[in-house]
Every structure is written in C-alpha cells, then in structure tokens.
Structure 1
Amino acid sequence: MMKPIHIKKNLVAVIIGMLLLASFSGYAEQLDRIIAVVEDDVILERELEGEVTAVVKKIQASKMEMPPWSVLRKQILEKMIVEKLQHLLAEKTGINISQDMLDSAAADIAQRNNMTPEQFKAELESQGLSYKDFLNNLRNEIIINQVRGKEIGGRINVSDREVEHYLETQDKFGEESTQYHLGHILIAVKEAASSAEIQKAKAKADELVKKLRAGQDFTQAAISNSQDSNALKGGDLGWRKIADVPTLFADVVSKLSQGDITDPIRSPSGFHIVKLMEVKGMGSAMITKTKVRHILIKTNELVDDTEAKNRLLALKAHIAEGDDFAVLARAQSDDKGSALKGGSLDWVGPGDLVKPFEDTMSKLAINEISEPIQTQFGWHLIQVLGRENKDNSDQNKKNFVKEAIRKRKIEEETELWLRRLRDESFVEIYEDRL
C-alpha cells in the first residue's frame, strides 16, 4: 500500500503560482493578438478592449440603451481604424506635436474653464480621470485636426457671391434664429460601388426608415447601423442653425416637424437618414457699439516702453490742461491711418479690436481718457466718445452665413475624404476575434 504524499506548503504555493502565471500568460497573449492590420501598422485586441470599456462607460453615463456587443465592437474598431489611418498620414507628412504645444493647448483649456493648469489637473483627477489619458486624447485630437486642416482646409473658400446667393435664395433665412437638433444615420457606399451594392445599401436604408417611423429608437439604430463619425454618439449632430446643416439636406430639414424622419437622401458617401429631434428659437442680435479714438506710440530701438508710456502721460496732461485730443493725435500718433482722422477709429463692435485695447475701452466712461495701455502694436492713450446699442443683424447674417458655409463645406469634404481614405487603404480585420 502506497504511503500518502505530503507536499510542503511552500511547494504548493509555487505550483499554484505557476498555474496562475500560465493562466495569466495565456490571457495576456490573447489580449496581444492582432485584431486588425491597418496599412503597415496593427490594432491589438487589448487596444480595442480599452476603447470598448471607455465607450461603454459613456453610453451608460448617458443612459442610452446598450447595442449588441458584436455591433458595438465593430463600430468602435471601425472608428479606431479611421483614426489610425489619419495618424499614419500625419507621420508621413511630418506632423508632430511637441510637449510645449501640448502643454500650451492644455493650459488654454484650463483657462477657458477659469482654472490654472494645476487646478484643472486636480479637477480631472477628483473625477477619477487620468491627466495622462487627457493629454494623450488631446494630442490625438490636435494631430487629427492638423491632418484634416492640411488635407482639406486649403481647398475651402467662400466667396462674397456665395454669401449673397444664399441670402437671396434662402427664403427661410428670415427664421435664421431658429435652431434644429438633428440626428443622423449614414449607410455608406463606396465611391466605386457596383449597382448591386448601391441597391443593397438603399434597401437597408429604406428598411431602417420604416423601422424608425414605426418606433425604433433612433439613438440605438445609429449606434448599430450608422457608418459616420457620430455613430457612437447615437448619431447626434447637436443643435444647428439652418446654415450649419449640410447642404445635402438643409432644404429638407427646414420643412420637417419635430420628430419627423426623412426618406434616405443619396450623396457620394451613401444614404443619409435625418431626424429632427427638437427645434427652438433664439434672441435678437443687439450689440454695443463704441465710438473711440486713440493715440499710438510704437516702441523701437530709440523708444522703449518707459519712453513711450511717459510720452503718453505727457500728452494726457496737455489734454487735461485744454489741448485738443484730435490735434495731438494728428501730430503725435504713430497710427497714421487714424491720425489723419484725429485718432478716430470710428464705431467699433465686440471683437473688432485686440483684447487689451477692448478691455480698457469697455471700462471707460464717455469722454474719459485712459492711462497708457500696452498692446502688441505699442502703447495707447484711449478716449471713448460714445456708446449705443445697435441691431447688427444684417452684418451678423453675412458673417454668420460665410462662416456657416465654410463649416458646412469642411464637414462635407471631411466626410468624403475620410470615406475615400478608408476605402483606398489596406485594412484586414480578423473577424473571428471580434
């Protein structure tokens, strides 16, 4: 009869450790599997898992219904592929974000939130967010924006005639204060698609419209089916004025009632389905105009900051004693354009002048003269001659329409460019690992 085998406790620990290590190694090996080849780079399974975890948290936080797991993973992988292609293009074209540029961008974001960089970092960490991850995401965003700007930005121009044509032909512009909250689904079609492929996409879009009109949740349908960059946001395009809506369906949107869903709209990218979620109006375009004049002393090799400031203080003293501001401006100001008009900049609106000048001007009473203030142009003595509220609607319309047309063109061109980039690149997905 065999004697029972007694194993020392430390040996048991070693064996268990070896088994756990083997198990962990197998899991780690699985997560390091390649899930997609993108040109001469790859996307690993662990990278996909990390993105999936992040997106799932966002969906849960927004209280949206979770799509089927396989659909969600495919959508996220597709988004990662398109981002990877843009990063590869950035490398090829020499786009690089230095640490100084990244820190400066982060500081700007902190400032816009009325915080110092240290306070902003602490705020992120108090919410359980990693500052390192924030910087990585910011770097990626800057790189992608620079790639798109380089590839697309130079092609976008808006002429005055386009603005005039829009104002002449869009009878809805009288309702430009109206904003539309839009949802969007794209059923994509390749540029070189066959008739059969186009018909298949059209049939899918038609069927989806039927389901949506019968009550299927739009957000869920967008996450599961849409093939544009807003898919994982439930197809939400946010609030837009009519001039911000892509040209392709601007006319259709202006005729929709809240809750309406369009028929599929064909474009070079595929078939678009749009839903008008909500609609609202906005207030009038009243702004404060200021009539202002100034005397400028520029600095150079002979005139430093102290000298420029002292010269303006002397001029201010002369004005207080009765000398005429306009006469002194004509004789002393280095801004030759305004000097001819006695220093007058005429009526100016918000944003027309550099910030230090505007900030000082806004605090002055009528006829009050400022202390010398410095801007990038030199040192100024400022006097406000009048203020009035004006309806700037006409000029606002022109400025708004020009910027909106530009944004619209960029959006449309970006969509086409991304689809073309994806279609023309080598991508191999290991479907059995999804």
Structure 2
Amino acid sequence: MNVKIKLSNTLRTLLLGALLFGSLAHAEVQPLDRVVAIVDNDVIMQSQLDQRVTEVQKSIVKQGANQPPLDVLQQQVLERLILENLQLQIGDRAGVRITDEELNQALETIAQRNNMNLEQLQMALKQDGLSFSAAREQIRREMIISRVRQRRVADRIDVTNQEVKRFMASEHGQLQLSEDFHLANILLPVPEGSTAAVIEKAAIQAQQIYQQLQQGASFADLALSRSSSENALEGGDMGWRKTAQLPPPFDKLIPALAPGQVTQPVRTPGGFLIIKLLEKRGGSNQLRDEVHVRHILIKPSEIRTDAEAQKMAERLYERIVAGEDFSTLAKNFSEDPGSARNGGDLDWVDPGILVPEFQEVMKRTPSGQLSKPFKTGYGWHVLEVLGRRATDSSEQMREQQAMNILRNRKYDEELQGWLREIRDEAYVETKL
C-alpha cells in the first residue's frame, strides 16, 4: 500500500507568505459583485477572481518577475479557480471531510516546519495580511483537494518491476540513486596571476583555519568571518550535492568522510577550499527500521458517509477486542484490495512510505497491540503491530527509491491528464 500524502506546493507557498490565497467559494460578496464563471453546480464571483489576481500580482512583485497583461493573468487565474472548484465539488460528492482535529494537526506541523509555534504562525500570517481563520479554511480546502487527487489519481498509477530495473540500470537512474552529501565550504580566494608569496600566504591561512576546525572551532562561524564564498553568510552551507556534481578531487575525498569531518585545504582555480560534510543520505549501506503491521481500511464513499465509515471501523475494533479473528474480519470487510486478501497484512514495511497519520499511530502502538480506529486520507483504519526490526536492506531501499521516483513522475503526468478530463467533462460557462 503506497499511502504517502503531503500538502501541496501551493499550500506551502501560502504559509510561507509568498502567495496568499483567498476564499474559493465563500468570499465576502462585494458591492456590484457578479458571476464570472458557472462551474457545474457552483459559481465563481468577480470578487473571488479580483482577490486572487491581486494576490498573484503581489507574488510576482516579490519574485521580481515581469507582470503579464491583466487580461492574460485574469484568464490564467480563472482557469485555476475553475479546476480547484471542480476538485472541491468532487470531494464534496465523495464525502471527503477534514475534521477539526486533522486541521489542527496540519497547522501544528506547518508551524513546526517553519520553526514556529501556533501563536507565532498566526502573527506571521497576520503580517502577510491573512487572518488565521482564512488560513485554516484554505488549508482545509488544500487537504480536501489532496485527498481527492489521492483517490482519483494515485490509485491509477502502476509501476512494474521491469520499469524499476530499467531505471536502476540507466545512467540517469544510477545518478538519481547515488549518495547525497550535505556540504558546507570555506573559500580563501587567490586572484588569478597571484605571486608565489600571495599564494603561500593564503595557503598558511587556510592551514590555520583547518587547525582551528580540528580543535573544535565552529565551521559556520569561520565561514562567516573568513570565507569569500557566495554562501558565506549562510555559514558556508552548499546544500545537497551528489558525487557526480563534485569536481575532482572532492568527488573522491567527500565519500570517504564521516559526517562532521572536513577536508584538508585544497588548491582550486578560485583559491584554497575546505569542505565539511554535514550529513549524507542514500548509498549502498543502509539500515532501516521496519514494522510488521496489518490493518483494516473502511472508506467513505458516495453511499457511505465519513461518520458511517467511522462507526463501522469502531464496530470492527470492538469485535477484534472481543476475540474475533483480525485476519478473517480484514478479508471480509477491509477495502484495501492489496492487503485484504492477506488478512490485512502489509508485511514488513518502512514507516517512511506511509502517510503521517498512519506512521504516528503505528509508532505509538506497542508490538502485539491493536490501535483504536483512526483516520487518514484513505479512510478509517484499525491496525495491529505484529513486530519491529532493523534490517540491512540497501538493495530493497534502492528499489523502493526508484519506485517512488517513477511513481512521482507518473503521478505528475497522470494528474495533468485527470485535470484535463474533469475540465472537459464539466459544464463551465465563463462570463468575463
């Protein structure tokens, strides 16, 4: 079961303050407001369009880009509103609901990712001209759209083992699956054509910095005070790089380092360079924690409300607690076709491939214990943890990484096709 869900880039941009979204379907009606589009059973108002256009214009200004003609921008924004409206209507008909508890958890997660608490998040939103209540509603809509896409798009994607093998054997695939290194640097420049004395002086200074680092000095502080690199103000942070992106001799030096270690000063065309390995990921030797888990999934649908799905999951939970066989109930009632035939057994899984809600409940549930019913974007679950282990599964992780890359690639393609489908099948009348 591939159940990875995350908030959309639009939402992350919203909450970082780069692009402020207003209400899609419930904007306050302004004087002389009028309908600019009829979308199936709903409408889009001029006030909604104007508000969104204004916000996009502000975002373009922040990016330093050129503003397109107003009529072109209006058409683009209106088309985006139409697609969002259609997805929200699909979610409403399918009974997709976001509870206050889920919404609060999402807000807390967003605040934490931005190194804030909820109060600080409210203040940041206020400074960007957006009320906390408006942000909550926008997050709710984004979560609904995400769940609609998960049900309608993700379930249509299939990646074969042959595709995975071909990708892993390709040059591009090997690059994608190679180790990633999070690096920082300190650069002591040596101008072109410098005398031997200037070069020697820079070499001595670089060696002194290296000795300070070996004695425990802060790399970030020295980068700020001594480095001439363009990222010196960020403590020399270069971000993540792959081996193929590193120039010689660093392509050989960096993989031999342990996180926290630094290279000796190296003479480069720009000067003397010292690089620190902050952290690394991927590669051939990987230990991962795995959980043996089984679950029963009950989905809301056009004929079953979310509340009814919850009650059904609660009844199944009570039956298991009373002594009925989990496997038999999963075969009879679970709506996860991939695991139902196996009595709900997901086998040994890497928690990282599961949605956050599933991960969290699984993490809290002791081995041999049953969880109470809980909700994810797929529906209502009851899970049982059968065991935990740490395993060396380098090849399996590479295969899973390749699978995720291919699924994400197919998802983007499938999503665009699905959006065209729902747009073509809908009744849309624009009145601009």
Which of the five TM-score ranges fits, normalised by the shorter chain?
0.3 to 0.5
Q: TM-score, normalised by structure 1?
A: 0.44
Q: TM-score, normalised by structure 2?
A: 0.44
Larger gyration radius, structure 1 or structure 2? 1
